[in-house]
Amino acid sequence: MVAGNGIFAFEAVGDGCGLDSEMTEAQIDFLAEMMPLNIEARYPSYKEQLAKALSPERCREMISKTNEMKLWINRKL
């Protein structure tokens, strides 16, 4: 399930729009995966480390999943 910073992401998105009970495990996991990227991008010392971890293919995959999540939320609201 979700641990650490992912809990915050789940609560912020799920509870904030009332969709927490409808989210799939994959959606919750994706939010948990995205949260550290947001935090790391804010701190310059992590930028190089973050850049190494994100290949062009991985970035495309994450953008696609983000778009899917956005569409799902829009359909539910």
Q: Which pLDDT score, from 0 to 100, does residue 41 have?
A: 58
Residue 68 CA to its chain's centroid (Å): 11
Q: How many domains does the chain have?
A: 1
10-residue mean pLDDT profile of the chain (77 residues): values are 46 68 86 74 71 86 91 87
* Phi, psi angles (nearest 5°) of residue 2: -100, 140
DSSP for residue 4: T
Structural domain harbouring 50:
5-76
- Give the chain's end-to-end CA distance (angstroms, integer): 24
**Which residues touch 14 (CB under 8 Å, ≥6 apart)?**
20, 21, 23, 28
Instruction: Output the pTM of the full model.
Output: 0.65
* Cβ atoms of residues 13 and 73 within 8 Å: yes
Q: What is the pLDDT of residue 63?
A: 92
